[in-house]
Amino acid sequence: MNGRAGHLACPFCNSYDVSRLYIATVRMDSCECQSCGARWDEDARSGEYKGRGAKASVLGKRDV
């Protein structure tokens, strides 16, 4: 992937210590890196990065 870590890795720190929640209705993975704490959404099929926003905007579980 052009010198970058594979799509299973965190796009911010390249760690593979990533928790994923598959959201079938939108075919997205909601991801959280256990190493650096980053959260992001990506296309489940291609691994394309779909963005990152506030913790409240990510599809996965959030701390309240």
Instruction: Please say if the pLDDT value at position 2 is more than 60.
Output: no
**Does residue 38 form part of some domain?**
yes
pLDDT confidence of residue 18: 93
Residue 63: inside a domain, yes or no?
Answer: no
Q: How many domains does one find in the chain? A: 1
Q: Within a domain: residue 58?
A: no
Going by the DSSP 8-state scheme, the letter that residue 9 receives in this structure is: S
Predicted TM-score of the model (pTM): 0.70
Decide if 62 is inside a domain: no
Q: What pLDDT does 52 receive?
A: 79
- Report pLDDT digits (tens) over 9-64: 998 999 999 999 888 888 889 899 999 999 899 998 888 888 875 555 555 555 55
Q: Is residue 61 part of a domain?
A: no
* Cα(46)–Cα(49) distance, integer angstroms: 9
Both tokens assigned to 35 = 């190493």
Query: Looking at the domain assignment, is residue 10 inside a domain?
Result: yes
Residue 55 lies in a domain: no
Domain that holds residue 20: 1-47
Q: What confidence tier does 1 reach under pLDDT thresholds 50, 70, 90?
A: very low
